[in-house]
């Protein structure tokens, strides 16, 4: 009845941008949902009878094992770094994030090479242990190790920040109540860490499900492999869409189970935050703990990078030319563009959703963030079909300006690729910015409104400076993700457009691992520098004062 | 000030990036969707550009996504030429109505009939044979005879090859279906899988390495990988390539499986004459020299001699089937391999 | 009447009503305390007056200007309502001067400077002009928040639990100060509190709010 009066004060430019953006994101995804209801094709029946069971089984094994292993590594490293004092702790505490700079597919290419008969590791083992056979990592255990080694930093980062924030009073209380160290860990520290562990592990699982490069190279028959297989080998888009429907179901079940298990427990309560004092390591632990961390770092980062450096030295002059310079410029500029768009839209959406006051709005935001749960393969199909459809609809307009025009203007343009990146990585930017908004709460914004400032001025003068940290975080992690991204880039990039990731893939596919070293290293160096920035930027004094209520 | 510099930097990047983009479909350009992306190909495209003044745009990608893209783009595609390293897939593109038939006397003389589509939908440009690679210390050449024999008792746990998703194996199976019929081909595939030394994994080079490593005695792989390993940047790969020996199977029976890199003119090509000119150029003696030999493939143009390495392996008898059938049986081959448990 | 509120209803989506049929009016320059326990809806009442929330029903009129009824709704930034937040919400990235200047729209540079000076004198904080919020004590922060809210000459001043963050002995002194300042500026003010003593010390009139309804009023 008072619809206008209720809606009007909320319908400002930010809401409009947000609503349009989320609709644009939802529409292509709807196509996938509708695809589920098309009649079953022969290929689908073939997949269902011969392959589906294997896909499900392999996918389950892979994500469960990767989740367990990466969570263990991430938790262990985070615990050691936050609770113990030892030489080199500072250095390790940020370098342990570096494996994130290596895309899983590059790790796979280089590890397979190192482990192959002619590879560095195999020759090393032959020389030292006189072992006849190398270690074959082109199988499920190999994939599990590769994913865990490159993805554990997600768990590490979340756990580390949670452990640093965890107040000493819980632990001291537990000790006063007579609990032993072991018990304290299992009954107090771990349960309190759970939200962080779940968040980190969920990211690991989603990244694993999204990957195509590794599972293709190692021939691990999981869902993203199956989707590409159905799409390309069997030439059946509908079957590919059905498979992705099943995959999405798996993701939702995982998320749902976590929600149910969490139940009504709360993990955050405001307790005066007194950081825990780090204990100096003694005896054999002084060597063993840092040693294990160094070993993890070596396998996750140092060894692959060293091998790549060696190959880069061998092939540098074959690969280095003007085209390569353009490759770098392309990668950086498209990542920059995608990142800026994502951060901008994320600010709009976060602003739009700050007051979770309407169920429709909540739903809209949830769906907007769905992209991250959907493997690149599926997003690629959806975006491609969506853009062709748009072009057909816009054709009369094109013709109005230029009677000779082609029909497909937007399809296979840079815009399409950008759109796909936005769809896929929106959630990452959004979550970083939403977290920053949560931290400052509504009061500063409301204070600004009460001082007669417009929404735009409030955003620029009050919100943006206060969530600056969140903006930088969003920028860095989205940028790293885009520059590493493979499946979308491969399928949707415009004519004559190559990026570092696509060229690495191309070389690896042509079985020229040595030649792939230079572009791989450029990706890794860029990502590493950004990680360094992320971990070393100065926290401004102001943010300390932002008290939460 | 800092914002200004950042903005300036960003603009420069964008402009530079835009320079690499953009395809003009004027008279003097040609757009190629290519699965091959060897640096030697690019040299050849540049040569074509310089000779005829026709700008060549290349979009490279995996074969199936390219075909899929061509299908989606319909009459609006920018592609004039589709270049794929498998005759089967070009057959599929033909069936899907993505290619058009072109006639050219030059092409017909330069390319033997066996290696082009009889209706002119696609033309083979380079040949590769799928051969057996063995370790001379563990296998006597006389033990080897045919693909089929690898499914027999003596080869239990001694054979390696890559996965069934790989197009080379799929086309091999498609050719077997044509020659033996579906059921016999399936029996063969089944017995072969039983003799695998390991679950299929890795690329062609890895199969050769596994043989040298001692995990298996014979690998099914493409000829040119041996050539490329011999020329690898990695000294240890060179060592592997020099250790193994190449054997052409089925010489006394049906012949060795051969596949081609081939190209066709797209149905909605903007510039058919340029496209034909391009195919003629690629199959000409001048181009074949580097197009085939730089990658250790066999040239289709019989006037051009193969690379010395290939010559050292001697002549061989190829399967007496027309390559069009690879496309015809591609789907059946995929299903068949799934059914016998070839991973 | 300077302020007229009639039949105000409000509820958060799908929840129990928070404000039910609240009506009252105020004269210009009057100071009214809204007294209630936590959950009585007193903070929500302020948010409705300031335009941060939209009522389901009811009418708000200040200084002959219709701010909200069935047909229209003037949003927060256009209402000319000053507000002091419970924890002051001083912008941490701006110093005292900038905080006060923030609401001064349409002032010339000189006028702005003068106004800031006046406000700082009013709250007796001239020497802290360049300090950042985190360098100020709780009482000082509150005074700056007050100066910031008063600077744009609002038609009404709303204070949300102004003393809840202060120590007991400080509170006594500041209460007096606050009343002096408010009376000095002739500012029509509403403040909400849960403390009867606070209300008695400052207000001309006390409105008792319980479960979103006005129970009774007491004129002092």
Residues A187 and A289 in one domain: yes
Q: Is the pLDDT of residue A483 over 60?
A: yes
8 A C-beta contact, residue B186 and residue B254: no
Sequence-ordered list of residues with C-beta below 8 angstroms from that of A201, at least 6 positions apart, any chain: A67, A70, A71, A154, A155
Please write the tens of the pLDDT for every residue from A454-474.
888 888 888 888 888 889 889
Interval B15-25: pLDDT, tens: 665 555 544 44
Exposed, middle or buried by CB within 10 Å (0-12, 13-18, 19+), for A180? exposed
Q: What is the pLDDT of residue B23?
A: 46
- Which chains have 3+ CB pairs within 8 A of B? A
Domain count, chain A: 2
Residue with the bigger pLDDT between A256 and C50: it is C50
Residues A21 and A46 in one domain: no
Tell me: do A135 and A278 sit in the same domain: yes
Measured in degrees and rounded to the nearest 5, phi and psi for residue B218 equal -140, 140
CB contacts, 8 Å: A549 with chain C: 86-87
Please say if the pLDDT value at position A13 is more than 80: no
* Residue A532, C-beta contacts closer than 8 angstroms, at least 6 positions apart: A94
Would you call A506 and B37 a contact, using CB atoms and an 8 Å cutoff? Answer: yes
A498-516 mean pLDDT: 86
Nearest to B233 among A314, A329, A408 (CB): A314
Whether residue C213 has pLDDT greater than 50 = yes
Residue B250 CB partners (closer than 8 Å, separation 6+): B145, B146, B147, B148, B256, B257, B317, B319
The last residue of a domain, from among A312, A332, A347: A312
Tokens in use for A227?
């989707």
Range of the domain at A101: 40-312
Is residue A5 in some structural domain? Answer: no
> Is A296 found in the same domain as A414?
no
CA A233 to mean position of chain CA atoms:
28
Helix then strand count (H, E) for chain A reads: 28, 2
Read off the tokens for C161. Answer: 């639990």
Give me the pLDDT at residue A5, please: 46
User: What is the Cα–Cα distance from C88 to A549, expressed in whole angstroms?
Assistant: 12
Residue boundaries of the structural domains of chain C: 92-152
Contact state of A461 with C76 under an 8 Å Cβ cutoff: no
Q: Pick the residue of A495, A498, A500, A502 with the most B CBs within 10 A to test the interface with B by mutation.
A: A495
Q: Is the pLDDT of residue A2 over 50?
A: no
What tokens were used for A10? Answer: 């909320």
Q: What is the pLDDT of residues A196-220, one digit of tens each?
A: 888 888 889 888 988 888 988 888 8
Q: Do residues A480 and A517 both lie within one domain?
A: yes
Tell whether the model's pLDDT for residue A544 goes beyond 50: no
CA–CA separation, A417 and A411 (whole Å)? 9
User: C-alpha angle with apex A87: A84 to A91, nearest 5 degrees?
Assistant: 90
Partner A contacted by B203 (CB < 8 A): yes
A256 and A355 in one domain?
no
- Here the tokens at position A278 are 């780090």
CB proximity A461 to C under 8 Å: yes
Alpha-carbon distance B269 to nearest alpha carbon in chain A (angstroms): 13
Location of structure tokens 């030292």: A128
**Residue pair B319/B259 in contact by the 8 Å Cβ criterion:** no
CATH number for A355: 1.10.3720.10
Is the domain of A332 the same as that of A255? no
CA distance A161 to A177: 26
Domain extents in chain B: 25-127+259-312, 129-257+321-339
Asked if residue A121 lies in contact with residue A114, where contact means CB atoms within 8 angstroms, the answer is yes
Cβ <8 Å between B73 and A336: no
- Asked if residue A429 and residue A371 are part of one domain, the reply reads yes
Within a domain: A4: no
Could you tell me which residues of chain C have a Cβ less than 8 Å from any Cβ in chain A? 12-13, 50-52, 54, 56-57, 68, 70-73, 75-78, 80-83, 85-87, 89, 91-93, 102-103, 105, 132-134, 148-149, 152, 158
Do residue B213 and residue A134 have CB atoms under 8 angstroms apart?
yes
First to last CA, chain B: 59
pLDDT value, residue A66: 96
Same domain, A191 and A44: yes
Q: Are residues A231 and A324 in the same domain?
A: no
Closest-CA distance of chain A to residue B84, Å? 14
What percent of chain B is helix, strand and coil (3-state, nearest 5)? 50, 15, 35
Residues A152 and A279 in one domain: yes
Q: What is the number of residues in chain C?
A: 220
B129-257+321-339 fold? D-Maltodextrin-Binding Protein; domain 2 (3.40.190)
Q: Which residue from A196, A438, A116 is spatially nearest to B236, judged by alpha carbons?
A: A116
Residues 6+ apart with CB under 8 A from C101: C112, C116, C151
Considering the domain architecture, whether residues A259 and A398 belong to the same structural domain is answered as no
Query: Residue with structure tokens 């930093």?
Result: A153
Q: What is the pLDDT of residues B90-100, one digit of tens each?
A: 988 998 899 99
* Residue ending a domain, choose from A312, A328, A347: A312
pLDDT of A174 reads 63
pLDDT of residue B188: 93
Q: Are B202 and B213 in contact (CB under 8 A)?
A: no
Rounded Cα distance, C119 and C112, in Å: 11
Domain B25-127+259-312 bears CATH identifier 3.40.190.10 = yes
Q: A447 to chain C nearest CA, in Å?
A: 7
Structure tokens at B225: 């990988």
The 3-state DSSP class for residue C61 equals strand
Question: Domain end: A291, A312, A333, which one?
Answer: A312
| pLDDT for A541 beyond 60 | no
Tell me what the mean pLDDT of segment A291-309 comes to: 94
pLDDT-derived band at A138 (thresholds 50, 70, 90) equals confident
């Amino acid at each position: 009845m008072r619809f206008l009066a209720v809606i009007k004060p909320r319908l400002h430019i930010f809401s409009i941008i947000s609503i349009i953006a989320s609709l644009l994101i939802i529409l292509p995804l709807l196509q996938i949902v509708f695809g589920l209801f098309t009649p079953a094709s022969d290929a689908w029946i073939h997949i269902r009878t011969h392959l589906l069971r294997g896909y499900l089984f392999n996918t389950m094994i892979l994500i469960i094992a990767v989740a367990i292993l990466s969570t263990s590594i991430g938790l262990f490293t985070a615990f050691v770094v936050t609770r113990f004092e030892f030489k080199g702790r500072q250095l390790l505490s940020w370098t342990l994030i570096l494996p994130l700079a290596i895309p899983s597919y590059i790790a796979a290419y280089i590890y397979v090479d190192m482990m192959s008969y002619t590879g560095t590791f195999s020759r090393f083992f032959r020389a030292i242990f006189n072992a006849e056979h190398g270690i074959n990592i082109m199988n499920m255990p190999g994939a599990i190790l590769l994913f865990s080694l490159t993805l554990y930093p997600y768990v590490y980062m979340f756990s580390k920040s949670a452990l640093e924030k965890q107040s000493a009073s819980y632990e001291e209380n537990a000790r006063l109540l007579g609990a032993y160290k072991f018990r304290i860990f299992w009954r107090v520290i771990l349960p309190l860490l759970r939200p962080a562990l779940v968040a980190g592990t969920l990211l690991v699982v989603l990244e694993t499900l999204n990957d195509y490069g590794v599972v293709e190279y190692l021939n691990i028959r999981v869902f993203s492999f199956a989707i590409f297989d159905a799409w390309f080998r069997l030439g059946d888009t509908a079957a590919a869409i059905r498979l992705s429907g099943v995959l999405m179901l798996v993701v939702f079940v995982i998320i749902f189970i976590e929600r149910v298990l969490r139940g009504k427990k709360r993990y955050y309560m405001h307790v005066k935050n007194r950081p825990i004092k780090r204990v100096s390591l003694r005896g054999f632990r002084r060597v063993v703990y840092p040693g294990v961390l160094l070993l993890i770092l070596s396998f996750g980062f140092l060894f692959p990078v060293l091998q790549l450096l060696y190959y880069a030295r061998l092939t540098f002059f074959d690969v280095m030319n003007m085209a390569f310079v353009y490759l770098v410029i392309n990668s950086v500029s498209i990542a920059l563009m995608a990142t800026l768009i994502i951060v901008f839209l994320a600010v709009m959406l976060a602003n739009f959703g700050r007051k979770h006051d309407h169920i429709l709005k909540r739903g809209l935001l949830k769906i907007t963030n769905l992209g991250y749960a959907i493997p690149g393969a599926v997003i690629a199909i959806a975006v491609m079909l969506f853009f062709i459809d748009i072009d057909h609809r816009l054709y009369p307009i094109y013709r109005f300006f230029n009677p000779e025009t082609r029909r497909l203007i937007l399809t296979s343009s840079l815009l399409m690729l950008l759109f796909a990146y936005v769809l896929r990585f929106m959630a990452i930017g959004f979550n970083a910015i939403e977290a920053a908004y949560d931290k400052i709460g509504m009061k500063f914004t409301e204070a600004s409104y009460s001082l007669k400032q417009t929404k735009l001025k409030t955003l620029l003068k009050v919100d943006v400076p206060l969530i600056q940290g969140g903006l930088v975080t969003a920028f860095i992690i989205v940028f790293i993700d885009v520059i590493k991204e493979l499946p979308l880039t491969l399928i949707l990039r415009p004519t004559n457009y190559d990026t570092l990731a696509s060229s690495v893939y191309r070389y690896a596919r042509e079985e020229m691992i040595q030649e792939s070293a230079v572009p791989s290293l450029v990706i890794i160096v860029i990502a590493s520098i950004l990680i360094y920035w992320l971990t070393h930027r100065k926290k401004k004094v102001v943010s300390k004062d932002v008290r939460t209520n | 000030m800092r914002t200004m510099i950042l903005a300036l930097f960003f603009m420069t990047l964008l402009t530079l990036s835009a320079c690499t983009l953009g395809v003009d479909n004027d008279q003097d350009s040609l757009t190629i969707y290519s699965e091959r992306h060897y640096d030697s190909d690019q040299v050849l495209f540049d040569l074509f550009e310089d000779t005829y003044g026709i700008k060549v745009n290349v979009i490279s990608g995996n074969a199936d996504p390219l075909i899929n893209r061509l299908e989606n783009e319909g009459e609006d595609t920018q592609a004039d030429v589709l270049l794929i390293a498998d005759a089967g897939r070009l057959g599929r593109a033909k069936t899907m109505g993505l290619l058009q038939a072109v006639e050219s006397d030059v092409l017909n003389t330069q390319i033997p009939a066996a290696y082009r589509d009889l209706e002119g939908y696609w033309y083979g440009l380079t040949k590769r044979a799928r051969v057996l690679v063995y370790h001379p210390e563990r296998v006597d050449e006389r033990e080897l005879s045919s693909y089929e024999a690898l499914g027999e008792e003596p080869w239990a746990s001694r054979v390696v090859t890559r996965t069934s998703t790989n197009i080379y194996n799929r086309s091999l199976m498609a050719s077997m279906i044509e020659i033996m019929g579906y059921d016999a081909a399936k029996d063969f595939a089944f017995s072969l899988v039983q003799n695998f030394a390991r679950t299929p994994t890795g690329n062609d080079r890895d199969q050769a390495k596994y043989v040298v490593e001692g995990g298996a005695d014979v690998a099914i792989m493409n000829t040119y990988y041996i050539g490329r390993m011999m020329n690898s940047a990695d000294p240890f790969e060179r060592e592997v390539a020099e250790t193994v020996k190449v054997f052409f199977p089925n010489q006394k029976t049906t012949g060795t499986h051969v596949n081609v890199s081939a190209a066709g003119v797209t149905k909605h090509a903007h510039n058919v004459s340029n496209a034909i000119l391009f195919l003629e150029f690629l199959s000409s003696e001048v181009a074949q020299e580097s197009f085939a030999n730089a990658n250790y493939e066999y040239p289709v143009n019989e006037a051009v001699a193969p690379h010395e390495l290939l010559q050292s392996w001697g002549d061989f008898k190829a399967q007496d089937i027309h390559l069009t059938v690879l496309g015809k049986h591609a789907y059946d081959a995929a299903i068949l391999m799934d059914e016998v448990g070839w991973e | 009447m300077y302020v007229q509120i009639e039949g105000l209803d409000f509820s958060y989506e799908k929840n129990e009503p928070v404000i039910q049929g609240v009506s009252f009016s105020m004269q210009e320059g009057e100071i009214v305390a809204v007294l209630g326990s936590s959950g009585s809806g007193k903070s929500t009442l302020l948010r409705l007056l300031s335009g941060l929330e939209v009522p389901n029903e009811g009418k708000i009129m200040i200084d002959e200007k219709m701010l909200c009824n069935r047909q229209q709704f003037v949003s927060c930034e256009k209402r000319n309502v000053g507000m002091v937040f419970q924890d002051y919400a001083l912008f941490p990235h701006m110093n005292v001067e900038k905080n006060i200047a923030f609401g001064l729209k349409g002032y010339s540079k000189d006028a702005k400077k003068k106004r800031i000076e006046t406000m700082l004198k009013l709250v007796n904080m001239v020497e802290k002009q360049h300090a950042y919020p985190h360098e100020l004590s709780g009482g000082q922060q509150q005074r700056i928040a007050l100066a910031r809210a008063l600077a744009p000459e609002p038609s009404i001043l709303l204070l949300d639990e102004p003393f809840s963050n202060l120590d007991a002995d400080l509170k006594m002194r500041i209460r007096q100060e606050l009343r002096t300042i408010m009376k000095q500026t002739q500012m029509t003010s509403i403040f909400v509190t849960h403390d009867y003593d606070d209300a008695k010390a400052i207000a001309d009139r006390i409105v008792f709010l319980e479960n979103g309804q006005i129970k009774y009023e007491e004129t002092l």
